[in-house]
Chains A and B, each alone.
Chain A
Amino acid sequence: MKTVLVTGGSRGIGKAIAKNLGLTCNVAVGYSTSKEQADEVVDAIQTAGGNATAVSIDVTDQNSVNQCFETVEDVYSSVDILINNAGITNDNIFPRLKQEDWDSVIDTNLTGSFRASQRAIKGMMKNKWGRIIFISSVAGISGNTGQSNYAASKAGLIGLAKTISKELGSRNITSNVIAPGYIETDMTSFLNDEKKEDIIEQLSIKRVGKPEDIANMVSFLCSDESEYITGQVFPVDGGLTT
Chain B
Amino acid sequence: MEVNEVFDKVKNLFVDELGIEAEKVTMEAKLEEDLDIDSLGIVEVVMAFEDEFEIEIDDEELTDVGTVGQAVNLLHSKL
Contacts and interface: CB of A to CB of B under 8 A. Distances in A.
Real binding pair? yes
B2 to A, nearest CB: 27
Q: Tell me what chain B mostly uses at the interface: helix, strand, loop, or mixed.
A: helix
A125 B45 CA distance: 11
Interface stretch (A29-37, A83-91, A100-108, A164-172): A164-172
A167 B38 CA distance: 11
Nearest to A169: B40
Given A122-B47, A168-B40, A171-B40, 5 more contacts: A125-B44, A125-B47, A126-B17, A167-B40, A170-B38
Interface residues of B, number: 6
Nearest to B47: A122
Contacts of B43: 125
Interface of B: 17, 38, 40, 43-44, 47
Contacts of A170: 38, 40
6 contacts: A122-B47, A125-B43, A125-B47, A168-B40, A170-B40, A171-B40
Nearest to A168: B40
Nearest to B41: A170
Nearest to B19: A128
Interface string A130-172: 0000000000000000000000000000000000000110110
